[in-house]
Structure 1
Amino acid sequence: MEKEDEFLFNFFTHISQLCFDKAREHTEKEREGSPIPVHSASWTIFLNILPQVILAEKSYIEIGFLQNKHKSFLRKDNSLRSIYESLKSDIKRLEENCNHNQHEERITNYCKHLAQFLSARINLIDFYDKIHITGSNRFFKYSDLVTQMESIIEKHSHSFTDISLTPIKAIFSLECEILQQLLKALTELQRLQFLPSLALIHGAQTRLAAWENKMQNRETWKLGFLKNNPLPLLYQWFVRFKGAVLSKFSLYFHDTLAQQTTLSEMKQLCSKLQNDYFQRMVQFQKKYDSSTVVLITDNQVSCDTIEYNCFPVIVSCPMKTPPQYETLLKMIGDISNELLGNDKIIYKYSTQEQCTYVLYAIELNIYLVMIFESKKSEKDVYISNFVSELSANLRCSKIFVSLKNPTK
């Protein structure tokens, strides 16, 4: 490995391990002691750009990419995306100005690969921005996000492959693959596919563990006792995202999972999840005297978790088939356009049965239904709060929107 290759490899190793102070010291040491005068001018310019890369990466890992977007007539855009764009322009300019001698050909190669890395970062920033915007929508297809993520992976699969950028390439790949796995898991959950969802969640967890193992950030961890969580905000967001997907999985396949263990152990396992949705349903049903709280799907999916010829009840509280099952299906069929077209909770009172049906579309094919053996008002705050919180969590809207203002 050439001296410059080794320098850059160590530089990006420090960056990938979140050792930003070490990366800066490493750069300063090289800048002060570079012994090759033939290409010192271009190499010095290149070294002067690296501290800006350090600052950008430090901000990126703390989710600085959706913060501080100030742009006006008197103030230029100082968003992190614009900083990466500016760095990319500087690198491209240096690449164009390099002489074509043996030494500067190497610098030209570094510039090319570093510019590719900066382009990849810009693409990911745009993708996170899309995720954040998507979280504000009521319904969205996770498959669209999967397609975009896979496009980014494909686009950069052969980018910044120089040996000197190997450490940051590995981190970039892990980040993209975790996003891909979790978004694909959400797609499979919409289709109520048990094994594919489980495999994807496991794949994401494996990659999260690999990413954390690469973070040797003693600079931050040595002060960990002063903080609630010493890990960077972006990694924390990924952990919450995985936790949200796993919690959703535990609800959609609650009955299947419960068959593998005792009820008490199942309850204990679910209590350790980020969100114990089934227990929330139980508490709501008991506290508010609802005869049934149930999630139903109106599409005939092929799933190995529901009996009765793919009976469309996903999960029910109490854990039994609601006696009003046929009525529910007919009702959902009659008002499905209303449920999907308006973001509101629909109340239907049956004078014959003396009960109130409360319906809401969680996703395009999945409905939350609550049955009360009395008349309920549409102004009932307790019901609306329960529905709002449950739907926002199951859609992962809260997780997506939290990218804008992350907190430790």
Structure 2
Amino acid sequence: MTFCELYKVILVMALESASGSREEKFLETFFPLISQFAFDKAKDLTEKEKETVKPAGAVFGSSSSVFGSSSSLFGSTWGLLVHCLAQFVTAEKAYMSLSFLEQKGFFHRSKDLKSLYQNLITEIKKVEDSSDQSRQGEFEQLLAHLSGHLCHYLTAKLKTMEFYEQISAMGTMKVINYSDLVIVITDIVQSCSKSFHHPLLSPLKATFGLECDAILHLLQAQILMSDWKFLASLMQLYEAHTKLTTWGATAQLKETKKSTFGSSSKHSGWPALYIWLTKYKGFLLSKFSLYFYDVLQKHTTNNEMKGLITKATEDFVARLMTFQRRSDAHYVSLVLDVQSLGSSYISPGYNHPEKNHTTPQGLDSFPSIFSYPQSERPAQHWPNVVSLISNRPQDSKMICVHDKKAQSTYFLSQVDTKVTLVVIFESKKSEKDSYVNNFIVEFSSSLKGTKLFNHFKPGIKG
């Protein structure tokens, strides 16, 4: 080897070592910014880097015989990756803002964002292939490995976009099948744990895992709550709260100051997806307070219980009580269909796992899980209530029946897969009563979560 050849080898190695250090610092700064919702800072970072990255020929001359093709390849792959990362910032910001769910004419914007993610996968694979083929240094190998893992991350994001589209569509459905959603997000969580585990992507992997885990725990809490399982649903809510709190602490965003009108936004600065997940948690906590009101009340005072519930996102208990008084209803209740639960039914509260449970039979298989103003169900009305629930058409929104013999009117509306809202008037009540009808329809929609899921789309006010 001549002195000239030795000089070229040493110079190339020195260039790769120096460049690799600077580029790695860029990557170590860039990905945490994305995980912290600092999209504008990440965008500025990529724009500055794009200005410094020039094709190898522009630096060394297009006919450089000193560096040859290897330096040209190095410059082009890093430059291409930086260009992709600039587009990556745009995609991630649109994803977190849920803008892909907005209407664009007759179509959703999801097609545009999906195309952006798919194009990014194609371009980043070029970086992976180019870097993998060169094998000229450690930094080129780093780019190859990083690009491969980044493609897996982008693929996972495409799956979650489709998942959120399902959630958005379910807002218009009469009955929401939460089990289907759990299956989809569980598959995403499992695939996430096996892919994009490159150390530089650890901030993205961590926040994406928190996002998926949070929505999974919330959906599981929703299902368990509808089965009236106190401890299991409570633990899922706790897990969801922990994931969201950890995710929020990672972002470290600050609330904005009060406006001139004295109001402030608690979630100001947070992306729409994170805000919606916190609202979903708040909704489930409110629903939990209603479904297990009697259980919770046994462990605290009435004043403390009232104070805790009023702090919830929605005070379902107060709404039912207010409705009962204003409508002069004899009895308002949420009735659980235990028969549909079968042998899995257990009484609310904590139950020892080895304790034997007997499934209620007859009229007892339709217990009242919340009632007002009476603590016990009205025995004279319960046969009618059970008969109406058992024979109610599945697709009915609300039914109103007047029993001449009992001189009473019954309103029924399904608020959950196994729970029915029952309102009893000991008088003849018109089925067209606007106050009663409006309350039952609106309350049922709120308790089902239909309203919340419909408001998953940006721009729709809750």
Q: TM-score, normalised by structure 2?
A: 0.80
Q: Which residue of 1 aligns with 2:112?
A: 79
Count of residue pairs brought into register by the alignment: 401
Q: Does 1:90 align with 2:143?
A: no
Counterpart residue number, 1:40: 75
Give per-residue Cα distances to partners, 1:290-325, cap 9 Å, x unaligned. Answer: 010000012152123499976511100114112146
The 3 A distance-change label for structure 1 pair 156 and 248 is same
User: Bigger CA drift: 34-43 or 171-180?
Assistant: 34-43
How far the C-alpha of 1:25 sits from its partner, in A, is 3.0
Counterpart mapping for 1:14-163 below 5 A: 14-33=33-52, 38=71, 39-69=74-104, 79-98=112-131, 99-103=133-137, 104-163=140-199
What code does the residue aligned with 1:340 have?
Q
The letter for the 2-side match of 1:367 is: T
1 CA distance for matches of 2:130 and 2:358?
A: 71
Q: What is the aligned partner in structure 2 of residue 196 from structure 1? A: 232
The equivalent residue for 1:291 is 330
Name the CA shift for 1:25/1:230 in 2 (closer, same or farther; >3 Å).
closer
In structure 2, which of residues 366, 372, 378 is the aligned counterpart of residue 317 of structure 1? Answer: 372
Structure 2 residue ranges without an equivalent (≥5)? 1-16, 57-70, 340-344, 351-356
Matched to 1:140, the amino acid is: I
User: Which residue of structure 2 aligns with residue 349 of structure 1?
Assistant: 402
Name the residue aligned to 1:252.
Answer: 291
Asked whether the equivalents of residues 251 and 278 of structure 1 are also in contact (C-alpha less than 8 Å), the reply is yes
| C-alpha distance 65-76 of structure 1, shift in aligned 2 (>3 A) | closer
Give how far 1:36 is off. 11
Residues 296 and 367 in structure 1, CA contact (< 8 A), matched pair in contact too: yes
| Cα pair distance change 1:329/1:309, threshold 3 Å | farther
Which residue of structure 1 lines up, in the alignment, with residue 11 of structure 2? none
Aligned-pair CA distance for 1:209? 1.0
The 1-side partners of 2:386 and 2:101 are apart by 39
Whole-angstrom CA distance in 2 between matches of 1:304 and 1:172: 34
Fraction of identical pairs, as percent:
35
Q: Deviation of residue 105 (structure 1)? A: 3.1
Q: Does 1:303 align with 2:347?
A: yes
* 8 Å CA contact 1:291, 1:372 repeated in 2: yes
**d(CA) in 1 for partners of 2:346 and 2:105?**
49
Q: How much does 1:132 deviate?
A: 1.2
Q: Which residue is 1:361 aligned to?
A: 414
Q: Give 1:90 deviation, angstroms.
A: 2.1
**2-side partners of 1:163 and 1:5: how far apart?**
12
User: Whose relative contact order is higher, 1 or 2, with alpha carbons under 8 Å and at least 6 apart?
Assistant: 1
- 2:346 aligned counterpart, secondary structure: coil
State the match for 1:404 in structure 2.
457
2:414 aligned counterpart, secondary structure: strand
Cα offset for 1:175? 0.2
| Structure 2 counterparts to residues 264-279 of structure 1, below 5 A | 264-279=303-318
Pairwise CA RMSD: 2.7
Alpha-carbon distance, 1:138 to partner:
1.3
2:302 to 249, 258, 263: 263
In the alignment, the residues of structure 2 paired with residue 143 and residue 93 of structure 1 have an alpha-carbon distance, to the nearest angstrom, of 39
Provide the secondary structure at the position in 2 that maps to 1:60. helix
Segment of structure 1 superposing worse, 264-273 or 93-102: 93-102
Which secondary structure state, in structure 1, belongs to the residue aligned with residue 439 of structure 2? helix
Deviation (angstroms), 1:68: 4.3
- In the superposition, the TM-score normalised over structure 1's length comes to 0.90
3-state DSSP of counterpart to 1:314 = strand
Q: 1:269 to 1:317 in 2, by over 3 A?
A: same
**Cα distance, 1:203 vs. partner?**
1.0
Specify the structure having the higher radius of gyration (Cα).
2
Q: Is the 8 A contact 1:204 1:242 kept in 2?
A: yes
Q: Any idea what SS the aligned residue of 2:134 has? A: coil
**Distance of 1:9 and 1:291 partners within structure 2:** 65
